Amino acid sequence: MQEAIREALKADPNKVFPNPLVGCVIVKDNMIIARGYHKEFGTNHAEVNAIQSLDVPVSNADLYVTLEPCAHFGNNPPCVGAIIQSKMFKKVILASKDPNEKAMGGIKQLKEAGIEVEIGVCEDKAREINRRFFTFFEKKRPYVIIKFARTQDGFIARLDGSSKWITEEDARRDVHVTRSGCDAILVGKNTINVDNPSLDSHGIGKNPRIVILSSNPINSSLKVSTKNPIIFTKELLKNQPHHNIKIILDNLFKENVQSLLVEGGEKTITSFIRSGFYDEIHEYVSPKKFYEGIPFYRGEDFGRIRSSLKLVSEVLFKNDIKKIYKK
C-alpha cells in the first residue's frame, strides 16, 4: 500500500482536481507486477491504468488501491466494473472508503462478485495525501488555510494600514505557490481597498477564484474587479462574524471549492480563527519590527490556540521563516 501511495503522489493535484490522488499496484506471488495512478481529470483512473499496464492477463492476484474503486459513471466507466470484468483478482485491499456519496458502492459490488475486500491499510497516510478531498466531502466545506505575514513583534500592517512589504521576495513567491494550489482565495474589503492586490499566482500556476467580503460593491478601478470575484454582501449578518464564516463556507461548498486560502486582514483572520473553521495556519515571520501597528489577531488567546495546534513544518528563507500549523 505504501507503494500505491507513492504511485498516487506522482500526479499533479491541480491536473487531477476535482478528483483525489489515487495510486494502485497489482501483486502476484508477493511481487508487484503492475502499477498505475490517476494522471489527469477525465482520463483513466489508477486501477484501469494498472490493469492495462500488464503484458498478459493474470489470475488470483491482489489489487492494492489507495481509495475505494468508484462505482458510478462519470467521465469514465466505473473502476469497479473494470476490476470485476478482468477476472484477475481474488482480493482487493483498500486504504480508505470513498467519502463521495456519488462514487460509493464499489466495496459492495466487489463482495457481490466474490472478491475478498480488506479496508483500512495505511489509511492515515492515504487520507493525508487527500486531506482537502476528505474534508470537502466529510465536513461539507472547503479545506481552509489561513495565511498571514507578520513582523517579529506581531503586526501585519502599520497603523495607517500599509503593509508592503513585510516579507522578502522569496517568501512572497512561496505564497504564490500556495495560491496556485488552492481553488479560491478570500480577503476582506479593507485588504482590497488599501492594497489593491491582484490575488493571482503571478504566473506560477493556476489562479484561484477570488472571494471578497464586502458590504458594498467593489470599485471598478481595483485589479480584482475584472476577475469575476465572488462577493459576499447580502448573505452576511451584521455583528455575527462566527455565523458569517459558516454562511461563506456553505456557499463555497456549493460552488465546489475544495480548498480556500484566507489572506485577509486582522478582522478576517480573527473571525476565521475564532470560528474554528480552518485546517492549517501558515505564519510567515519577518525579523522586521514596526513597534506599533495592526496586529494579525485581535485578542489575547492566540497563544492558547497556537499551543493546541501541531507545528508540522518550518521553512527558512533568506530573511524570513514560514511556520505551518495543523489541527
- Residues 96/1, Cβ–Cβ less than 8 Å: no
- Burial of 216 per CB tally in 10 Å (0-12, 13-18, 19+): exposed
What is the C-alpha to C-alpha distance for residues 116 and 314, in angstroms, rounded to an integer?
A: 43
Q: Is the pLDDT of residue 184 over 90?
A: yes
pLDDT value, residue 242:
67
pLDDT tens digits for range 267-280: 899 999 999 999 99
Q: Is the pLDDT of residue 311 over 90?
A: yes
**Which residue has better confidence, 104 or 99?**
99
pLDDT value, residue 237:
61
For a pLDDT cut of 90, what percent of the chain falls above it? Answer: 71
pLDDT tens digits for range 164-175: 789 999 999 999
> Is position 300 annotated as part of the catalytic site?
no
230-232 vs 209-213, strand pairing mode: parallel
Q: Is the pLDDT of residue 240 over 80?
A: no
Q: Is the pLDDT of residue 236 over 80?
A: no
Catalytic residue from among 47, 263, 266, 280? 47
pLDDT value, residue 131:
97
Q: What is the mean pLDDT of the chain?
A: 91
Cell numbers that stand for 322 in this block: 514560514
Q: Which residue type, as a one-letter code, is found at position 239? A: N
What is the C-alpha to C-alpha distance for residues 316 and 284, in angstroms, rounded to an integer?
A: 10
Q: Nearest 5°: CA angle at 211, between 207 and 216?
A: 140
